[in-house]
Amino acid sequence: MAFQIPRGTQDILPGEAEKWQYIEKIARDICERYNYHEIRTPIFEHTELFLRGVGDTTDIVQKEMYTFEDKGGRSLTLRPEGTAPVVRSFVEHKMYGNPNQPVKLYYIGPMFRYERPQAGRFRQFVQFGVEALGSSDPAMDAEVIALAMELYQTLGLKQLKLVINSLGDAESRKAHRQALIDHFRGRIHELCEDCQVRLEKNPLRILDCKKDRDHELMATAPSILDYLNEESHQYFEKVKSYLTKLGIPFEVDARLVRGLDYYNHTTFEIMSDAEGFGAITTLCGGGRYNGLVQEIGGPETPGIGFALSIERLLAALEAEGITLPVREGIDCYVVAVGERAKEESVLLVNQLRKAGIVADKDYQDRKVKAQLKAADRLNAKLVAILGDDELAKNVINIKEMSTGEQTEVPLPSLIDFLKERLS
């Protein structure tokens, strides 16, 4: 039987994995400069965490979670998103008591959602996200957005669009909720079954419906911005003011509600405007979630964060024709000629590696010509040719692959010579 990869997953092979490593390194470097620290949570959590944290009216909870019972009869779920597990850890480990506040965290890891696989969307995908917990300052919202924008721009993306909205506080949302119910109730039968259920449970979710997004009722639905109380309005104005000060252009979209129940106040998405990127343009989404910590059992603690898919990021880079500066090839390939040289090459390659030089050698007992071809396939910058004659003279021949130039180098000086050439 020939086994195949499960639908909606992918193997990241050598040649591609280096791109992922480069992106992850840039993300970690930026987080370090912004004083965010890595957190790693389990790949599966108790199902109740996502029911309470993400919301039982969301598509994620209703349709997309991978849920199973363990041998003890406990319901567990492969994490579909990163915020709820991070907040669970924040509460469980009492990080709200840390002297350094706010607590600023980031994560990189696989998430799982049972949805229809398509370009840039997988059932197992990798998210990078940040969470800042403990500050209700609108400048914190601007910082989180700035971090996301800096990551994309550092990687070379230019066709970006930032869209923001405010969902307001509890009072604002209560007034808007009733307006939405009044707006949709008379014609709710025209919308999908999910929307009909959401009308009373969470009418804001109707605006996020993928099936009915083009229905005329969506275009005429009451805007949350018309129901913001003065405090929520002023908060949103400050966020916009900080973004302007930071030189980050944005658009306001009153229909941007995001797909998770825990958001309030600021919500945002970063989209790709690159030609040919596809119908689904969202690269990154996030927002403020001031009630989530309490929902998961902690004290009243404000929070804000975002998450982005590495797969979507790679697709955007491809759409803009951006090549990442990842390492291609190796520094030095050691060609051994003769039995004694083969034995010495094992030690020599090990010494080169310990000196920080990316090195390899033949392990298939190939002839010299085949070894040189192997060096060429590995895109080696230099080839070190060692034979019994060279060993007798305590020297080694170095061939520059780009020019064909050869130099005889004393073996004790080899590492210094290679480092000089490679620099």
Annotated binding-site residue? 406: no
Q: What six digits make up the tokens of 195?
A: 């929307």
At position 392, the amino acid (one-letter code) is A
d(CA 113, CA 103): 28
Question: What CATH class is the domain 17-169+229-319?
Answer: alpha beta
Q: Is the pLDDT of residue 26 over 70?
A: yes
pLDDT digits (tens, 9 = 90+) for 366-403: 999 999 999 999 999 999 999 989 999 999 999 999 99
At position 335, the amino acid (one-letter code) is V
Query: What's the number of CA atoms in the CB half-sphere (13 Å) around residue 107?
Result: 24
Which pLDDT band, with edges at 50, 70 and 90, does 5 fall under?
very high
pLDDT digits (tens, 9 = 90+) for 31-75: 999 999 999 999 999 999 998 878 766 778 878 999 999 999 999
Residue 212: what pLDDT? 82
Task: Identify which of 33-42, 166-175, 320-329 has the greatest average pLDDT.
Answer: 33-42
Task: Identify which of 50-54, 211-215, 276-280, 369-373 has the greatest average pLDDT.
Answer: 369-373
Which pLDDT band, with edges at 50, 70 and 90, does 258 fall under?
low
Annotated binding-site residue? 258: yes
Annotated binding-site residue? 227: no
Which pLDDT band, with edges at 50, 70 and 90, does 260 fall under?
low
Annotated binding-site residue? 82: yes
Annotated binding-site residue? 81: yes
Instruction: Enumerate the CATH 3.40.50.800 domain ranges in the chain, comma separated.
Output: 332-422
Instruction: Enumerate the CATH 3.30.930.10 domain ranges in the chain, comma separated.
Output: 17-169+229-319
Q: Is the pTM of this model over 0.85?
A: yes
Choose among 246, 243, 192, 197: nearest CA to 218.
Answer: 192
**Mean pLDDT to the nearest integer, 171-183:** 86
Name the percent of the chain lying above pLDDT 70. Answer: 98
Q: Is the pLDDT of residue 306 over 90?
A: yes
Annotated binding-site residue? 131: yes
d(CA 335, CA 333): 6
d(CA 384, CA 400): 9
DSSP line for 356-395: T--EEE--S---HHHHHHHHHHTT-SEEEEEEHHHHHHTE
**Mean pLDDT to the nearest integer, 241-257:** 94
Average pLDDT taken over every residue of the chain: 92
Annotated binding-site residue? 127: yes
Question: What CATH class is the domain 332-422?
Answer: alpha beta
